Amino acid sequence: MSILQNVSIKELNTFGLNIQSSYFTSIHDVSEIHSVLHSKECIGKKYMILGGGSNVLFIHDFEGLILRNELRGIHIVNEDENYVWVKVASGEVWHELVLWSIDRNLGGIENLSLIPGSVGAGPMQNIGAYGVELKDVFYELEAMNLKTFEMETFSKLDCKFGYRESVFKHEFKDQYFISSVTFQLNKNPRINISYGAISQELRKMVVGNPTVKDVSDAVIHIRKSKLPDPKILGNSGSFFKNPEIETEQFNSLKENFPAIVGYPLPNNKMKLAAGWLIEQCGWKGKRIGETGSHKDQALVLVNYGNATGNEIYALALQIKQSVFEKFGVVIEPEVNIIGIIS
Ligand SMILES: Cc1cc2nc3c(=O)[nH]c(=O)nc-3n(C[C@H](O)[C@H](O)[C@H](O)COP(=O)(O)OP(=O)(O)OC[C@H]3O[C@@H](n4cnc5c(N)ncnc54)[C@H](O)[C@@H]3O)c2cc1C
């Protein structure tokens, strides 16, 4: 375990921002965390955990210690006639886990194919796509409490999963290092192709009775055709969450904007498509200097090559403001903004 100084993390964040971190170390075993945080260089310093860097926007250089998660290992820890429980070290690449499960015809995460990043960041925002969320297959996770350095186990209930939410984004923000996640995968996969685009894609692939591999292939194909590849154009996927509003507010918006689409939620609420709201404000495809909203996906903010984190953040604030002025709806970032006081 070595602690490096003044390290560029340009290759370690999907926005491709040339951020310098004053200190940087890779964690290969949770037992290293205590000594790193107590080392003479880093004691008392600010720190953060970095997985794949696909859901972070650094506003400026990071004056502190970055702990890059390199924990590895996928192990079956239990099984019965219907399920397999798989314990996965948090530094594993999420999509590699999806491929691992598909190789064994285990069902549950095929719809989450090709989501970038690490397994350990998955529970942070309860990653989701194409009608499935991580919580649907989550069993438990282990995390190190960064105050006591004790290991703790969190059940699904403890994690308080919601739409792109968990306890780790709120009351336990920056307080735990998630070290492993255990998933309950299905030996008799129940295919979920209720999300329109998947069944359409499967029809194009001429697949009648889809396997988990077929669903994964369809999802991969859709994602590749819809989303910019961060290796080519820096981005962090959807920048904002889809906002939830009261049905009453939705009905009055519908009078002024008949094309507005809302998805009913429990508790008399409606979910709106943030991308649509942003597009209606004229942002889709708009470029400001080195940043902008993507030409096909208004919700995706991009770095054309030399943007700074501050420029992207300033654009996000302008977009947020214009959506509020036009619709009276507040949109919140899905991306973790590093460097502002929240
Ligand atoms: C092209 C693209 C498409 C995307 N599509 C989707 C999508 O369909 N659905 C979706 O939900 N997300 C999507 N995302 C967002 C992103 O991939 C996920 O949020 C992913 O889980 C982030 O993983 P990461 O390892 O890169 O996290 P990072 O960006 O490294 O970290 C994100 C946050 O989690 C914290 N964190 C990371 N690891 C740990 C840990 N082990 N313990 C405690 N805290 C930790 C970090 O400190 C940070 O606050 C997309 C991103 C991109 C670039």
Model pLDDT for residues 306-319, shown as the tens digit of each residue: 999 999 999 999 99
Best of 37, 48, 54, 219 for a ligand 1 pocket test (most atoms within 8 Å of beta carbon): 54
- The response to whether residue 50 sits with its C-beta less than 6 Å from ligand 1 reads yes
8-state DSSP, 243: P
Looking at ligand 1, which atom is closest to the CA of residue 91?
41
Looking at ligand 1, which atom is closest to the CA of residue 112?
8
Q: What is the pLDDT of residues 9-52, one digit of tens each?
A: 999 999 999 999 999 999 999 999 999 999 998 899 999 999 99
- The response to whether residue 144 sits with its C-beta less than 6 Å from ligand 1 reads no
Give pLDDT, residue 334.
97
Distance of CA 161 to the CA centre of its chain: 13
Residues 72-79: what's their mean pLDDT? Answer: 98
- The response to whether residue 118 sits with its C-beta less than 6 Å from ligand 1 reads yes
Determine contact, residues 280/257, Cβ cutoff 8 Å: yes
CA 69 to centroid of ligand 1, rounded, Å: 12
Q: Is the pLDDT score of 208 beyond 90?
A: no
- Rounded to whole angstroms, the Cα distance separating 222 from 247 reads 31
- The response to whether residue 235 sits with its C-beta less than 6 Å from ligand 1 reads yes
Residue 341 banded pLDDT, cuts 50, 70, 90: low
Instruction: Output the pTM of the full model.
Output: 0.96
Dihedral sign from CA coordinates of 120, 126, 127, 133: positive
- Per-residue burial over 76-114, b if 16 or more Cβ lie within 10 Å, else e, is eeeeeeebbbbbbbbbbebbebbebbbeeebbbbbbbbb
- The response to whether residue 242 sits with its C-beta less than 6 Å from ligand 1 reads no
Say which CATH architecture domain 74-226 belongs to: 2-Layer Sandwich (3.30)
Residues 297-304: what's their mean pLDDT? Answer: 97
CA 268 to centroid of ligand 1, rounded, Å: 30
Q: Is the pLDDT score of 216 beyond 70?
A: yes
Residue 58 structure tokens: 């650094």
- The response to whether residue 178 sits with its C-beta less than 6 Å from ligand 1 reads yes
Domain 234-338 CATH (choose: 3.90.78.10, 1.20.140.150, 2.40.10.10, 3.40.50.12780): 3.90.78.10
Annotated domain spans of the chain: 4-69, 74-226, 234-338
Report the nearest-CA residue for atom 28 of ligand 1.
Answer: 53
Pairing mode, if any, of strands 62-69 and 138-145? unpaired
Q: Is the pLDDT score of 223 beyond 80?
A: yes
Supply the mean pLDDT for the chain.
96
In CATH, what number does 4-69 get?
3.30.43.10
**Long-range CB contacts for residues 223-228, cutoff 8 Å, separation at least 24:** 223/113, 223/114, 223/129, 224/114, 226/296, 226/297, 227/297, 227/300, 228/294, 228/296, 228/297, 228/300, 228/302
Please provide residue 214's backbone torsions phi and psi, each rounded to the nearest 5 degrees.
-60, -45
Looking at ligand 1, which atom is closest to the CA of residue 49?
47
Please provide residue 30's backbone torsions phi and psi, each rounded to the nearest 5 degrees.
-60, -25
Query: Active-site residues: which are they?
Result: 164, 238, 334
